[in-house]
Amino acid sequence: MLVSLTVGKVDAGVAVLLTQDNRLIEFPSVLLPNDIASGSIVDITVARNHAAEDTSAAGFHSLQKRILNNYGINSPSPPVLRLRNATQTSLVLEWDPIDLATASLKSLSLYRNGSKAGSIPRPFETRSTKISGLAIHTEYTFHLVLRTTAGTYQSEKLTCRTHKMTDLSGITVTPGVLPPQQKEALASALDRIGGKMIDTVRIDTTHFVCTEGRGPLWEKAVEMNIPVVVPEWVDACESEGTIVSVRGYYLNADPKNRQLGPIQSTTHQRTTSTVSSGPPQFGGDAVRPGPPPERDQPAGEPPTTPFPGGPTSGQPTTEEREVSDEDQSPPPPPPKDETAESEQKPPQEQPEQNGEPKPAEDGLPSEDQKEEEEKEKDEGPGPEPEKESTPQQEEKTEGQDQPSSNGENKGKGKESEGDSFNEVPL
């Protein structure tokens, strides 16, 4: 196909060509002859190259097949998670090597009970992990999540449970330096309790048993913080029927620190406490414990030393009961010494004198009392007569506010001063 075009304008990069129907076509100026200028007419022939088209199409289809074979057929595989070992407080999980096909790895994460527990470091090298600090006899659910450039893949959920204290099947022992007979006895004991013995120190090794701390296996166990115990620990677990604390069974531990199991230790403690708290042995000079003191004692206990002039029997008297009552109640105001005030008071309200209450019904008339007081003042203070208290007087003494002992002391003090008198009832 031949096309005639008129050159309209020529620039360094683009030339403007005009068709016969006045259409503008921008054409690369480098494809035009060098001697053209504005107004020149050029003829351009346009033809289709079928051979080149076939060659290009064949190359494109070959490239697509290579891409499909390399990236479209194989895809990453979901990780496969499984349980390797379980103990009372830990679980050891392992999985197959991850298959990414032609994809690139982004991350590999472990989930516990639906929550992310952490990312697996070095996923191409690490194929197991240990989860510690779990609860005893508790069920857990785990699964892996693999993130790649080809998408996200998740493993099936793995449900596992930690062991009871009496389940010894999770014990995995790596033997160290042991005598041959002791090593055979250790293997037999592990078979009886359901444990396992492995020759290398792995992530699922729970205890390293030896009698001497040396060798590459011992060094690796110490590096991995695996308990290094003596063979007696396995025997103790077998005899107790439960996991025994390793504190007293370390390689260089004192055998005195070894403890019994929970049931036997409780019985042992009870027996020890019973023996230690048994009845004490009393010697010839030992003081035997008396009966326990009573909490509620009567308020009126007889004092050690009886009051002057009082009875010496063990029973408390009326005056002593008044003294005990006065200890609990506030002391009454001191009696007044004025004779005028005592004369104005009725006979039943006058205070006690010389420790003897004045009976209200047997009192003297006011005139006789005055005469008696005058006679006593003229005669002076004489010896105080002793008299015995009658039951009626004791009953009246209980109703008074002042104790008879205080009254006696006050009466004696007044007699020495000569300002008071002794009242002698008839």
184 and 240 part of one domain: yes
Mean residue pLDDT across the chain:
74
* Mean pLDDT along residues 348-367: 46
Q: What's the pLDDT at 367?
A: 61
In the chain, the number of structural domains is: 3
Q: Is residue 11 part of a domain?
A: yes
Identify which has the larger pLDDT, 417 or 20: 20
Q: What is the pLDDT of residues 215-225, one digit of tens each?
A: 999 999 999 99
Determine contact, residues 101/75, Cβ cutoff 8 Å. Answer: yes
Q: What is the pLDDT of residue 269?
A: 39
39 and 90 co-located in one domain: no
* Domain-embedded: residue 207: yes
Helix, coil or strand: residue 172: strand
Confidence of residue 409 (pLDDT cuts 50, 70, 90): very low
Token pair of 103 as six digits: 């994809």
The residue out of 261, 291, 309 marking a domain boundary is 261
pLDDT band at 71 (very low <50, low <70, confident <90, very high): confident
- pLDDT confidence bin for 406, thresholds 50/70/90: very low
Whether 425 maps to a domain, the answer reads no
Could you tell me the pLDDT band of residue 242, with boundaries at 50, 70 and 90?
A: very high
Residue 89 shares a structural domain with residue 156: yes
pLDDT at 86 over 70: yes
Q: Tell me, rounded to whole angstroms, the distance of Cα 139 from its chain centroid.
A: 22
Between 165 and 369, the higher pLDDT residue: 165
Who's near 153: CB < 8 A, 6+ residues apart?
76, 77, 78, 79, 145, 146
Among the three residues 210, 238, 261, which one is the final residue of a domain in this structure? 261
Residue 187 lies in a domain: yes
Tell me the C-alpha distance between 260 and 271, whole Å. Answer: 13
What's the CATH code of the domain at 111? 2.60.40.10
pLDDT tens digits for range 319-353: 444 444 444 555 566 655 544 444 444 444 444 44
User: 158 pairs with which residues across the strands?
Assistant: 142
Indicate whether 15 belongs to any domain. Answer: yes
Residues 92 and 138 in one domain: yes
User: Would you say 157 and 141 are in contact if contact means Cβ atoms under 8 Å apart?
Assistant: yes
Domain end point (choices 161, 189, 221): 161
**Position 362 pLDDT exceeds 80:** no
Distance from C-alpha of 84 to C-alpha of 129, rounded to nearest angstrom: 10
| Alpha helices by DSSP H, 20-146 | 50-67
Q: What is the pLDDT of residues 377-404, one digit of tens each?
A: 555 554 444 444 444 554 444 444 444 4
Q: Judge contact between 163 and 90, C-beta under 8 A.
A: no
**8 is a domain residue:** yes
Residue 389 and residue 400 in contact, taking contact as beta carbons nearer than 8 Å: no
Of residues 156 and 252, which shows the higher confidence score? 156
Q: pLDDT band at 307, cuts 50/70/90?
A: very low
Percent of the chain scored above 90 by pLDDT? 43
What's the average model confidence in pLDDT over 302-331? 48
Q: Which CATH number is 256's domain given?
A: 3.40.50.10190
Domain of residue 17: give its range: 2-45
* 293 DSSP 8-state letter: P
Residue 144 shares a structural domain with residue 185: no
Q: What is the 3-state secondary structure (H, E, C) of 56-79?
A: HHHHHHHHHHHHHHHHHCCCCCCC
Mark whether 186 and 219 lie in a shared domain: yes
What does the pLDDT look like over 120-143, one tens digit per residue?
999 999 999 999 999 999 999 999
d(CA 299, CA 328): 9
Query: Can you tell me the mean pLDDT for 353-378?
Result: 54
**Domain co-membership, 140 together with 112:** yes
Is residue 198 assigned to a domain? yes
- If asked whether residues 156 and 176 sit together in one domain, one would say no
**pLDDT tens string 180-193:** 999 999 999 999 99
- The CA distances from residue 173 to 88, 167, 183, 212, 240, in Å, are 15, 15, 11, 16, 18
Confirm whether 71 is domain-assigned.
no
Percent residues over pLDDT 70 in the chain: 61
